[in-house]
Structures are given as C-alpha cells and as structure tokens.
Amino acid sequence: MRASSVSDAVKVSRIFVTVWVTTPNRALAAKLGRLAVASGTAACAQVSGPLESIYRWQGAVESAKEWRLVLKTRARLLPDLEALVIGNHPYDTPQFLVLPVLGGSAKYLEWLGDCTQTPAGTRRTERRRKTQPR
C-alpha cells in the first residue's frame, strides 16, 4: 500500500512501523535483529554504528558508544517484538521507540506485509534483487 494522500498515510502508519533500539555493541544488535527476523516479528533489521549517545541517567549526564538497530514490522506485532527485545537486552531501560511508516514503494510495502503476516517459516521472505550485469 503506497500512501498517496494524508488518509492513505494514516492507514499505512496503522499497519507498518519501524522500531529503533540501541545496544552496547554490534554483536547484540545483530543478534536481536536475527532473532526478530527469524521469529517473524520483523521483516528486516538494519544495524548501524557506532554512534555516541548522550543521555541523563540516575541524575547524571552520561555518554556511551552504542549501535542502532532499526526493525521494520507490523504494528500488531509490537507486543511480541518488544518482549523479544526486552527479554534479550542487558539495559535496565532499553530504547524501544516506535515510529510510523507513512508510505513507501508499493513493492517494498507488499514485501514487508508478506514477511510479517503468517507464522515464521511460511512466508515469502526474500526481497528480489536486480540481477547485476556481468
């Protein structure tokens, strides 16, 4: 579903979301991403970093090197995805921010929907890649 109007964008945002999670290292971000995709609670995971986070914690301004994990999923899968992330994360208060998807290419949103609509292992899970010329 491509958002071509404000009302379409609202419809898409109720279906698809992205989730931002930060982790203390790349290995954990990759582990959480793989768990989410393998379980079917996310269609895709992207790891980026390192980045510097500056935040207030227990009354003090802190700074830490972290990695960002971005997960793409359906809004209805958020409770399961949050449980997976929280249950496998070492922070007392891990970042779990949900942002609406307001639109996107029809093919990508179709793929995202296909990857997150049925139990893990029974969905179409591969994005088709263009054949590279030799």
pLDDT-derived band at 133 (thresholds 50, 70, 90) equals very low
pLDDT-derived band at 80 (thresholds 50, 70, 90) equals very high
Cβ(65)–Cβ(7) below 8 Å? no
Instruction: Answer yes or no: is 130 within a domain.
Output: no
Residue 5: helix, strand or coil by DSSP?
coil
For 14-40, what is the mean pLDDT? Answer: 96
Instruction: Answer yes or no: is 41 within a domain.
Output: yes
Residues of the domain holding 111? 6-115
Name the nearest CA neighbour of 110 among 95, 126, 97. 126
Instruction: Answer yes or no: is 90 within a domain.
Output: yes
pLDDT score at 134: 38
pLDDT score at 14: 77
Query: DSSP E strands: which ranges in the chain?
Result: 16-23, 44-57, 60-74, 97-100
CATH value at residue 60: 3.30.70.120
Instruction: Answer yes or no: is 23 within a domain.
Output: yes
Instruction: Answer yes or no: is 124 within a domain.
Output: no
Could you give the number of structural domains in the chain? Answer: 1
Instruction: Answer yes or no: is 89 within a domain.
Output: yes
pLDDT score at 84: 97
Cis amide linkage into residue 133, ω under 30° from 0:
no
pLDDT score at 29: 98
Instruction: Answer yes or no: is 79 within a domain.
Output: yes
Indicate if the pLDDT at residue 130 is higher than 80.
no
Indicate if the pLDDT at residue 85 is higher than 70.
yes
The b-or-e profile of 28-67 (16+ CB within 10 A means b, else e) is: bbeebbebbbeebbbbbbebebeeeeeeeeeeeeeeeebb
| Average pLDDT along the chain | 86
Rounded distance between C-alpha atoms, residue 13 and residue 2, angstroms: 11
Rounded distance between C-alpha atoms, residue 30 and residue 27, angstroms: 5
Instruction: Answer yes or no: is 101 within a domain.
Output: yes
